Amino acid sequence: MTESPVKLTAEDGPDQPPATPELEDLYRGFEKELLVPLWTRIGDLMPQQPVSKAQPHRWEWKHLVELAARSGELVPVGRGGERRAIALANPSLGGRPYATPTLWAAIQYLMPGEDAPEHRHTQNAFRFVVEGSGVWTVVEGDAVPMRRGDFLPQAGMNWHAHHNAAEQPMAWIDGLDIPFQYDVESQFFDFGRAVLPDAERTTPARSRSERLWGHPGLVPVSQFKVSAGSPLLCYRWADTDAALTDQLELGDSYTVEPGHAVVRYTNPTTAGDVLPTIRVQFHRIAKGVETAPRRETGSSVYQVFDGAGRVTVGDFSWSVQRGDLFVVPSWMPLAVVSEASGSDSDSGALDLFQFSDAPIFSKLNLFREEVAR
């Protein structure tokens, strides 16, 4: 007979019944029938507030880029491995490539002339470019250029490939809901063409999607239908930068707190989050500003786009600069101080790109947030 995976003892927690022979006998019965009593597990399963399995952590961009560049030399990209993407593995999540319990974040790297083969999957994805340019993402035949500051959402089940049309390598970050979909078991994945035909390896300055959907408040009548993921495949840095600049200039009545502007990327067919499971926002924190500690259900990954500062998440605190990534687990408070550094932009502001799993919580009536003022 196979051994039961269930193991029970009367010492499993506080407030347990006395460990009599009858109780032992009962617990052996539970094990045999694959049963676990609530009273031995409730503290772990139903805590009084979220206690994350993940730990706050920071990754330094300089190490990521260096390792990615060495991968570019040593590891080919192609069918099977699919992408030269190197994922952040939260130290508390058992060595799995999970930045948080629900989110995947990786640096992707493509050498000059290389192609990442076409595929599609239910996992919702995006790219964000902290430096460089020269790669085009081709989505359903639409070639989208990637440049510093651009955000490219990629909702589930769109065919997509990448090709590097430049003379130098390019790195960027990928965000996906891989851990979430792994947990709930919703994944489908299809392989497409290993190499795109030349007709699709074009390098236009603007994608078709931007020409149709990139004009503020205007939708193309012939294409309009509600879709779960955004049909706009690139949100350009110039727009994001202008929106942040405008918001800060309008003053404290229009920012989330004094000196702290935030914009959210939205789907122009729903006005909701840009991806069904992932919320994406951009923060600009003026020089010298310290944000109020704030926490919410669900987890986030941040990348420093520009500037420098000091970040505190729960009991952890790090100095961060351009390209560095850090994670904020569920219900842990985050506070940020924007610290000017000599090498930064004139404004001295700290620019932070953020993605989180908030849509999962919002749509399922589980979202909570709290600000300490």
Under the binding rule (CB under 8 A), the answer on residue 357 touching a copy of itself is: yes
Mask for 15-54, x = binds a copy of itself (CB under 8 A): xxx--x-xx--x--xx--xxxxxxx-xx--xxxxxxxxx-
Residue type (1 letter), 41: R
Binding residues for a copy of itself, rule CB under 8 A, total: 142
Minimum distance between the CB of residue 146 and a copy of itself, rounded to whole angstroms?
16
Under the binding rule (CB under 8 A), the answer on residue 356 touching a copy of itself is: no
Under the binding rule (CB under 8 A), the answer on residue 80 touching a copy of itself is: yes
* Interatomic CA distance for residues 338 and 342, integer angstroms: 13
* Interatomic CA distance for residues 64 and 79, integer angstroms: 23
Closer Cβ to a copy of itself, 39 or 112, answer by number = 39
Under the binding rule (CB under 8 A), the answer on residue 315 touching a copy of itself is: no
Under the binding rule (CB under 8 A), the answer on residue 216 touching a copy of itself is: yes
Q: Is 163 exposed, middle or buried (0-12, 13-18, 19+ CB in 10 A)?
A: buried
Site for a copy of itself in 224-283 (CB under 8 A): 224, 226, 228-230, 232, 235, 239-240, 242-243, 246-247, 249-250, 254-256, 261-271, 274, 276-277, 281
Q: For the chain, what's the residue count?
A: 373
Listed ranges 2-10, 159-167, 287-295, 311-319: which one lies at the site for a copy of itself (CB under 8 A): 2-10
Under the binding rule (CB under 8 A), the answer on residue 168 touching a copy of itself is: no
Listed ranges 132-140, 165-173, 303-311, 364-372: which one lies at the site for a copy of itself (CB under 8 A): 364-372
Q: Which residue has the tokens 């300089």?
A: 62
Cβ neighbours of 334 (radius 10 Å) = 21
Contacts for 267 with CB less than 8 Å, ≥ 6 apart: 227, 228, 229, 230, 231, 232, 273, 274, 275
Site for a copy of itself in 321-350 (CB under 8 A): 329-331
Residue 117 has phi, psi (to 5 degrees) of -65, 160
Half-sphere exposure of 305 (CA within 13 A, CB side): 21
Can you tell me which of 56, 65, 102, 170 binds a copy of itself, judged by CB under 8 A? 102
Q: Is 233 exposed, middle or buried (0-12, 13-18, 19+ CB in 10 A)?
A: buried
